[in-house]
Structures are given as C-alpha cells and as structure tokens.
Structure 1
Amino acid sequence: MVDVIADLSSFSLEAGPPGDQRELLHLRARSAGLTFSGCAHAVFLCKLVQSVRCIIKSHLANRDSLASGGDGDLCVGMLGMGHMGKQLLLSLLEKSDIKPSNIKISSRRPELAVEFVQKGVECFFDNRRLAAWADVLFICCLPSHLPKVCSDLHSQLSKRCLVYSFTSAVPVSRLARLLGHDFILRPQYDFVACDTADVWLSCTRLTSALTDPVLIEASSPLTMGGGISLGLNWVCAVLYSLLNLCTSAGLGSGDAICLINNVLKDKWPHAVELHSQSFISASCASSLLAEEPFPWISLTDVQTKETPLQCFLSSSKSMQHCMSAAYKSLLETPAN
C-alpha cells in the first residue's frame, strides 16, 4: 500500500468530496477502502494472535518461549510513520488491547509521532533494535526504501517474529529473499467492478469507522464488498501463523489443533473442526504423533502455492462462515 496520497488533502479520510472533481469520487472511495481494510485486517490479526498467545501462556505456564514481552503481552513494532503507519497505529491503540508501552516505532522522522509518544508509545530510529524486539512487525515504508530497510532487518529477526508488510509492488517471495525470513504476511488486495464502492465514503474518521457494522461487514476477508477483494491465501496464512505460534512454543500437534478449534468455536459454535490433515498432507499427518509439534510452515509457500488448508477452506462453507464470524466478533469487541 504505497503512500502516494500522504500530501493530497482531497484524498484524506477527513476530506469531503472535491466540488469540481466528482467523477473521481470512486478513487477517493477506493483509497479509503484500502486504508480501512488494511487497518481492520491488521487489528484482526493482532487480536487473534494475542488470544492464541494468552491460551498458550496459560497452557504452558512457565515456559520461556513467550517471555519476550516480559509479561507475555504481544510486542508490536511499526516501521514507518507515513500515512498508513499513522492510521494503523491509531487503529491498534483504539481497537486492540495492546498497551501503548508494548508498541514501538522506528521512523526516520520521530517528530511525526509526538502525539503517540505522549500516550506511551516509544519512537526511535533504529530498525535493527525494533526487529530484535518485536513479536509482530509491520512494515509501512515506501517500496523505494525497502532495500535499505530489509538490509537493516536481515539476520535481526527471530524465527517467531511475524512480519506483516503493507509495501506494495513487492511480492512476498522477493520480500522473503530480501529479509532472509519466511514468517511473512502480505495482504494482496485486488479491485473488482461493483456498484457499492461508495460504501467506503463513510470512512470520514478511521477510528469511528472501525465501529461501523456496515464497514466491518464490507471488509470481512472472505466476502469483501465495495469493489475490493482479498485472496483466500491471506486467510490461510493467518491460520498457518497461529499454527506456527503453537509450534514455536513447543505445543504438541494435538494440543495445537484443539487450541485453534477452541478459539474459532468461541466465535462461531457451528464451526467444522480442523484436523492435522487440514494443514499438512495426509501422509505427513498420519505419521505425526499428537505430542509432536507441527513442522514449521513457510508463509511464503502458503501465499504462493496450493495448500491442504486452501483446498479445505475453499470447499467448506461452514469454515468460511466461521472465519467471517471470528473477524466480525473480534472487530466489534471493544478494547478494554
């Protein structure tokens, strides 16, 4: 998601439609829809990851695998404070339970984050320090800055750090090579012709828009509206991310499947249960012992190749309903 509109006031979420350019209104709607959906999906991911981490923590009381945050809380790093970075930070502060003290920003212009620093968010310019600290790292930089950013991050990321990239025009496979890291999520938004794109024009203020049931419905990943779509691979990658969290904590495959099923059933009781073969091939699943952790899953492969989970999810309407229900439930639940 390139920051091409950062200095264009007519495209800001707060701006009204330009009086003499109403034929371009759909561009403003598309811009608002991308910003809203990008932030909403990131908040959903963080809330889902935090839920799973809390369950793992209670399951494995004194294990060191979740000790990076000191108290087990999710540590979120943000690299870049342009238009998307600011909107994402506002969304996380308003809609998630992540404490400001558990969010850190690395930016070439720390002065842009003064209002957030006053709320308890730490801001500095040290990409390597951020990478070594974060559990989830959001990359919100321009494509032209990416080679330098990746050079800074290379070899600094722990295997369990989930990198989430908003940088457009850079495929996840290339990003994985640049970072030397395969635990990466990159949402791929596409545009489709429709008559409902103006639904996004109600995004006058992002934080209030994130409480609007109509917009939450329109941004639901598997059934997106308003002329924007998000591939099934993104939802699969989110679920594989949860599986990798269980693996990194040393959780056996039986407990990992049970944990993920319980998280989803808590949001939609009618969910079809996932099994080992939902994630890995039947031959691998048959030889996997219940007390043995799942193998580490490359999210790069998940987003570029056909997977057992993609086949399962595409054919299971029940699981699709479950993921939509989980998304709406987590977005509609107010932060504590």
Structure 2
Amino acid sequence: MDLLEDLESLKFEYGIQEEDFSWLYLQGRYRGLVIKACAHATFFCKLLHKLRDTLPEKLTNSGESLDETTVASDELKVGIIGGGHLGKQLALTLLQLVPIPAESLRISTRRPETLDEFQKLGIQCFYHNSNLVGWANVVFLCCLPSQLPHICVEIQPSLEEVCIVYSFVAAIPIPRLKLLLNHTNILRPQYQCVADFVNFWGTNKDITSALQDPTILRATCPYSSAGGIVLNIKWLEGVFYALLNICTAKGLPQLQVLQLLNELFLSVHAEDCEEGGANCPQFEIRDFISRFYVKSLPQKRIFPCFDLTAVQLSETPFSQCLSASTALQDHLTYLYCDSFGISLNKGHSSVDSTDSTSQ
C-alpha cells in the first residue's frame, strides 16, 4: 500500500521542473543497485552459513572430535563498517533473511547513537573498527570512498588472514583495496548499468519485502540483466574460491571439499534434470586449479589458499568451467532463487536471462 498515493505534495517528484523529469530514472536505478547489493551479500552469507554449519560434521567424520561448544562457537560472525543507508539496509536484510542472530551481527559507525533501533534488536553498535574486524569472520565495507583509506589504516593490524573483507565502495578498485589492506581475502561485486533500464524495483517496499517478490528476486540473479543492472560474474567465482579457502583453513582434504560443495550447492535441480540428477554437473578438482597443478597434488592434500583479488581480476579454471557449462549456470541460478525461498518455473533458467556483458 502506497501511503503517499493521494498526497502529491509529499511525493519525491513534487516540485521538480518538467525538463528534469527525464532524470527520475536515476532514483529507480539507485534503488535497484541497493537491492542487488543486499541480495548478493545475503546470498554469500547464506552460503557461508550453510557451509560452516556443515563443516563440523564433516571434520568429525574424518576423525577429528568436535564437541557442542566448538560447534556453537563457530557461528558465522558478521561485521558492518558504516551505518548509513546501505549499512542499515544490509543489516536488516542479513538479520531477517540469512538469518543471522542479532548477537552475531555488529555495526561500527562514527555515530552509533543514531542506530538505536538496531541496538533494541540486540545488535551491538559502536565506533571501533579494529575491534570489529578482530571479531568478525566477514566484514562489509559500507563507508564513503573518502573514509576508506583511514579505515584501512585502522583495521589492517587486526585483520586476520581468514577474515573476508566484502567491499561496497565502488570507487576503490580491487588492486587499490588490496594495497591499502595488505590483504588478499577480498570480495568486491562490480555492477554495470545498461541502456535498457526498466524500473520494477518499487519505491516503498523495504529491501527484505522486495526480495520476496519473485520478479525482483529473479532480476537480482547473478546471470540476469533484467532491470538494467548487470553483475560482473567474476564475483561469483570469488564467492566459490572464498568457500574453498574456508575449507582449507579447516584442513579439509580436497576430495571431501568437492563432495561437500556438490552436496550443498548443486543439489537444487532444474525441472529437466533426469531423475536422481544423473546428468547434473559435479565439481571436480580441475574446475578450480590448473591441470598441471592437479597432477602434482596428492589426493589427500588440501587445496591451496587462493588470492581472491587475483581470482576476480584474471581468468581461472573456474572461469572456463562456468562459461562452458550452461547446466552449471542453471543449477547455480536455481540454488540462488531457492536460497530465498523462490522456485523457478520452467523457462526461467539463467540461460534465458544471461547477458554477455555480465561476463
């Protein structure tokens, strides 16, 4: 329900000169970018949560004993630096859709007193960036570009190698961010706005509600160009290499890692898959590392630790795997929608909505 429907003087468009009306599409584009950014961050945290929730069981099966205290302490911890519009929307989306418990989500901002609504929800809000980074498994940078150099100086000494830094600061490219942080475990989604912009992103729905709308949710799929906003698919590669790094940090052998990834992330099937998934794609070692390296890697060895910045800036074995297999693209699209509780009907595969510019 639009509360402003009959109140013209309170609408955003009121008072804008007629010659400036052509620029109103920027409002919808901005909202689309925020929705996509929150959706992709949520999907990433869902995958991390699912993986970390399963890892203790896998480690136990391999002979390492883990008690309930260890499992509980391995809860995904997420930090957000920046309490502006994006930081607030991201916090609410993660809290409701992952879902991340309030005690596992913290926000560091220069004005924590403005986040009273979040503190009432049980989220710790303060201004101490280095403490936040030392605590979190994933840190989202939702600050202004002008603030980022100072923040990097603050957090670099407390940044653990396994901590994933996820940057929304579009003006700072990955090589610069890597240099500022002296860190390689970095993810940064890159969005491109195309000419064919269709504003179906809504105006009054909150982000959480918007992502329950099948049309909007499908438009946020990694391979979709609907809505005029395209995600660089290198981000998706970075996500999977980040998952591999987590398994490596846990000491999980490569064959168990592949089995785990196949069970967790390729188990959502398209309608045209054969019964039992006999024709479904399966991850193999050569999908992630070079054939030469595969030959020299004993089967019981763990994967190497990957530089996520290099993954997002250059071609990888997984790049070729993704581009060559439409079946894998479809399975990942079905996984994406299923993680938000939306089922894809036949005819809505990733192939149908793929735009070559996303590659």
State the distance in 2 between where 1:327 and 1:67 align.
Answer: 31
Q: 3-state DSSP class of the match of 1:18? A: coil
CA distance in 1, matches of 2:71, 2:182: 24
- For structure 2, the 5+ residue unaligned runs are 1-9, 270-276, 343-359
Q: Establish whether residue 36 from structure 1 lines up as the match of residue 35 from structure 2.
A: yes
In structure 1, what residue type is equivalent to 2:159? Answer: L
Contact map agreement 1:32 1:203 (CA 8 A) in 2? no
CA distance in structure 1 between the partners assigned to 2:301 and 2:149 by the alignment? 38
> What is the letter of the counterpart of residue 162 of structure 1?
I
Q: Percent identity?
A: 38
| Aligned-partner Cα distance in 1 for 2:87–2:11 | 22
Query: What residue number does 2:13 align with?
Result: 18
Q: Are the aligned partners of 1:43 and 1:331 in contact in 2 as well (CA < 8 Å)?
A: no
Q: Is the 8 A contact 2:266 2:332 kept in 1?
A: no
Shift of residue 136, structure 1, vs aligned partner: 0.7
* Bigger mean CA deviation after superposition, 36-45 or 261-270: 261-270
286 and 28 in structure 1: CA distance in 2 versus 1, 3 angstrom threshold: same
Shift of 1:201: 3.0
Shift of 1:221: 0.7
Paired AA for residue 100 in structure 2: I
Moved more, 104-113 or 33-42: 104-113
* Kept after mapping to 1: 8 A contact 2:192/2:231: yes
Distance 1:18 1:131, change over 3 A: same
Shift of 1:332: 2.2
CA RMSD of aligned residues (A): 1.9
Is the contact made by 1:28 and 1:201 (CA closer than 8 Å) also made in structure 2? no
Distance across 2 between alignment mates of 1:158 and 1:221:
29
Contact 2:191 2:232 in 1 (8 A): yes
TM-score by length of 2: 0.84
User: Greater CA radius of gyration, 1 or 2?
Assistant: 2
Give the alignment partner of residue 81 of structure 2, picking from 79, 82, 87: 79
Paired with 2:134 and 2:317, the residues of 1 have a C-alpha distance of 32
Task: Answer 1 or 2: higher relative contact order, Cα 8 Å, separation at least 6.
Answer: 1
Shift of 1:202: 5.1
Aligned residue type for 1:24: W
Specify every segment of 5 or more residues in structure 1 that has no aligned partner in the other structure, as ranges.
Answer: 1-14
Is the Cα–Cα contact under 8 Å of residues 185 and 234 in structure 1 kept in the other structure?
Answer: yes
Secondary structure, aligned partner of 2:139: strand
AA partner of residue 300 (structure 2): E
Q: C-alpha offsets along residues 63-108 of structure 1, whole Å, 9 cap, x if unaligned?
A: 78x9899532100001110111011011111111210000011111
Q: Structure 1 length normalisation: TM-score?
A: 0.90
Tell me what 1:253 maps to: 254
Pick one of 298, 312, 316 that aligns with 2:321: 312
Structure 1 pair 117/63, CA: closer, same or farther in 2 (3 Å)?
farther
